[in-house]
Amino acid sequence: MSIAARARRLWSDGGASGLARGAGRFTGMLAKKAFFSAEYYVHEFDLMALDDTYAAAPIDNLEVHIVESDEDVSRLVERGYEDCRLTVPGAKRCLRSGAVGLCAYVGGTLAHIAWVGLNEEAKRSFDALAYRVRFDEREGCSGGSWTFPSFRGKGLYRHVMWRRFTYLREHGCLVCRHATGVHNVPSLRGQAVFPCKLEGTLRFVRVFGIDRYSFKPWDHHTEPDDPKAA
């Protein structure tokens, strides 16, 4: 990813404050390489129970393009669409690892992106958390979503999540597994409208670059901290 291109996009999307927030995220990312601790809810989504409630585009001029390779992105760029490889961190790695991107554009501008995976290599490109996905048993995974600030609150997350699930189902998956930070309330609420069950909580700790995980299955007699969100 071009740092200059990323900076230009942050500036155009949010001005000085957007650029400052982006710089803060980058600094935090560097710190996380040495020390980090977080908890995630792991959900299992039933793709066979998926309906068309969120099939309609929530805003005008929205186009969702599925990209499975660098070549797919290049063809979009030739048609005047923003190049996600220049403005989304890790996009090149995801594509070259076999992950599939769902790019939501408004008037050629990238508004939202998310990823799905049909194998372990693809999963690790956008979600390295150590929760199990049984790819050989018709399971898939999704994650790595990002909505640019000026497009938040417009329903893109739910619509593109529906598109993610539809893609996985069309490619033979019965289930999608997905991990979300326990404090990421907007995403958790966005997911809650889809048929799913909470598998448990994954705790991740990194100390001096050494990663440790622990998984606590959900006790179905005990509600999560935020039952509306999870």
Q: pLDDT tens across 40-84, in order?
A: 999 999 999 999 999 999 999 999 999 999 999 999 999 999 999
Contacts of 164 (CB under 8 A, 6+ apart): 102, 114, 116, 142, 176
Helix/strand/coil percent split, the chain, to 5: 40, 30, 30
The owner of tokens 């805003």 is: 59
pLDDT per 10-residue tile (average), the chain, 230 residues: 57 56 47 75 98 97 98 98 96 98 98 99 97 98 97 97 99 98 96 96 88 87 48
pLDDT at residue 209, as a whole number: 75
Indicate the CATH number of 34-217 among 3.40.50.2300, 3.40.630.30, 3.20.20.210, 3.40.47.10.
3.40.630.30
> Taking the complete model, does pTM exceed 0.85, yes or no?
no
Nearest Cα to Cα of residue 68 among 56, 45, 84? 84
- Give the separation between CA 123 and CA 100, rounded to whole angstroms: 10
pLDDT at residue 9, as a whole number: 56
pLDDT at residue 229, as a whole number: 40
DSSP state letter for 99: -
pLDDT at residue 148, as a whole number: 96
Measured from the Cβ of residue 146, the count of other Cβ atoms closer than 10 Å reads 16
pLDDT at residue 19, as a whole number: 47
Q: Report the side by side order of strands in the sheet with 139-147.
A: 62-67, 100-106, 109-117, 139-147, 175-181, 35-46, 196-207, 210-217
pLDDT at residue 210, as a whole number: 85
Q: Which residue type does 195 have?
A: P
